[in-house]
Amino acid sequence: MTKTEVLDVLKENRDARGEANWKEMGDRTGGLTSFGIGLTKLRAIAKQVGRDHDLALKLCDERNHDAQIICPEGAGRRSRRSCTRST
């Protein structure tokens, strides 16, 4: 799966209520955007995406909370921490 395909899947699963909640958080979002997808659904999407280190690094560079959460586990913990770095 490519980064574009993953982002398309996330867009297809967006949740208006979750997006509204995310927007209410204002500055506490750290400048990230979100499709408002719940964690249970994000886990299912992550399982569908599978493990791919290069894809994980690309998703970590996205300024989207949902994309960073589903960074495939193949990226390892160090790479997941780098998802939260400021850009």
Say what the pTM is: 0.79
pLDDT tens-digit series, residues 39-58: 999 999 999 988 888 898 89
Q: What is the pLDDT of residues 54-68, one digit of tens each?
A: 898 899 889 999 999
Rounded to an integer, the average pLDDT of 74-85 is 49
Question: How high is the mean pLDDT of the chain?
Answer: 84
How many angstroms separate the most distant Cα atoms in the chain?
33
So where are the chain's domains?
3-82
What whole-number distance in Å separates Cα of residue 80 and Cα of residue 73? 8
Confidence band of 83 (pLDDT split at 50, 70, 90): low
For helices 53-61 and 3-12, give the axis angle rounded to 10 degrees: 60
Q: Residue 84: pLDDT above 70?
A: no
